[in-house]
Amino acid sequence: MHHLTTGLYRVASLSCVMAYSAHCLAAGYGLNENSASYMGAGFAGRASNPVDASIAANNPAGISFVKHNTLSVGSALIFKGGEFEGQYKRPPLPPPYDNGQTLRGKTTDFQKTTPVPFGHLSMPFNDQITVGLSAYGPFGIELDYKDDWPGKYFGDETSVKVINLQGTLSFKVREDFAIGIGLIGAYVKGKLTQTAGVPDVLPIDATIEGDDNTFGWNIGVIWQINEQMKIGAVYHSQLEFTLDGDIKVQGRLMVPENPPINVTVNDKVDAKLDITMPERVALSITHQIDPRWTLVADATWTRWSRFKQFYVKAKRHVKISQSGIPDLPPEITTDPSSYIPMNWKDVWAFSVGTSYQIAQQWLLRLGYMWDQSPVDDKNRTVRSPDANRNWFTCGASWQPTEQLSIDVAYAYVVMDKGNISEAKYNGTPPHNVNAEYGKITGEYNNSSHIVAAQLNYRF
């Protein structure tokens, strides 16, 4: 009975924890999908090639070169995908309680099919001033692993959505040079679920939900060097969020001893998470070779080294009730805070593309982007199964009338294979590794298909 009591005390004293991170369709948390026209060319030239109102989200100066009142609306659709194979292994508790646990298996399609809508409006006020309004998602994630996958004790569902509402003002200093600024109101909402507690002994269903809003900005310039070439540069500010929400925990353990042992947790506590979405700097070049051919290129640097940790801090302890263990009080409290070191690195993305005007009404696009990941084999987690990406894209634009055009695009995104070896960290300082929780190891092999469509109306 002494060993059983010791084991159950360890069960009761261990907190249920949640890691808070994400995997997206751009490196880190980033989303590129704010325009079907730029997606067709691998997002190359998105800060220097003002083809429609969607340039506002990529370079606010660009709308000075959009001649008419223009409405650009559409959506990308990221299809389900993802593949993982590996195992979770937990060491045994003191005998004779259990002999540890090992789960092996393979899971697929944990990246959920997700729409990414966007909308942009550009309106010239006079020959020098143009104003605009945009709504788009700069960051986001939708993961949902199967219930029986080997890493269920580290993460099940991950949903993080960031929405930007941007007002844009662009000023044409000269006929060949413009500067623009965008003021951004950003909103984030997150939900994460996990089976936590002590794996296979006291499984606890844990859910974290929270939201916040903040302000940001971007500033950019476009210089038309000559009739054939434009250069664009843009800076996007960081977005600092404090997610206020709660941690819900539920779980129960019953042991048919004499007297029977019953351990129950059913509580909800307030919690918060500080998170910063990093600043970005981009340089784009557009070169029109002749009336039919245009070449575009882009280089973007993102300061993901700001992302050091995720620390979900609970504002009070969770209450755990027990009966049948005489050495313990009827109610025990434990801190449900969670911590995971991220230590991401700064990254680059490079893209090249081209467009070809095959007829007066038809334009074709091709592109490629190499998208560096801030994650490697040392810091990959089940909520950030990230790796370097290769984007292969194509698209087309159809203009049936002078006022109306439609853009469509397709992207095949191939990620490098990535190994994972993730342990659990204690939620309270000094945040040491909790060796009793076990470790998930394995390999990710992910790829994605994305389609996008956009309607442009000039009035």
Domain that holds residue 312: 2-458
Q: How far apart are CA 411 and CA 368, in angstroms?
A: 9
The residue type found at 26 is A
Q: How far apart are CA 97 and CA 6, in angstroms?
A: 9
pLDDT at position 198, please?
A: 67
pLDDT at position 25, please?
A: 54
Token output for 411? 């992207």
pLDDT at position 11, please?
A: 34
Q: How many domains does the chain have?
A: 1
pLDDT digits (tens, 9 = 90+) for 403-444: 999 999 999 999 999 999 999 998 888 899 988 888 999 999
Whether residue 96 is preceded by a cis peptide bond, meaning omega within 30 degrees of 0, is yes
Closest to 441 in 3D by CA, of 414, 418, 425, 457: 418
Statement: residue 24 has pLDDT above 50:
no
Cβ(251)–Cβ(205) under 8 Å? Answer: yes
Token output for 36? 């079907």
pLDDT at position 65, please?
A: 97
Question: How sure is the predictor about 101, in pLDDT bands with cuts at 50, 70 and 90?
Answer: confident
Residue 65 sits in a domain of what CATH number? 2.40.160.60
pLDDT at position 94, please?
A: 67
pLDDT at position 428, please?
A: 85
Cβ(297)–Cβ(232) under 8 Å? Answer: no
Three-state DSSP class for residue 28 = coil
Backbone angles phi, psi at 184, to 5 degrees: -120, 130
pLDDT digits (tens, 9 = 90+) for 376-401: 999 999 988 999 999 999 999 999 99
Q: How far apart are CA 362 and CA 66, in angstroms?
A: 19
Question: How sure is the predictor about 18, in pLDDT bands with cuts at 50, 70 and 90?
Answer: very low
- Segment 127-144 shows an average pLDDT of 94
Residue 85, number of CB atoms within 10 A of its CB: 14
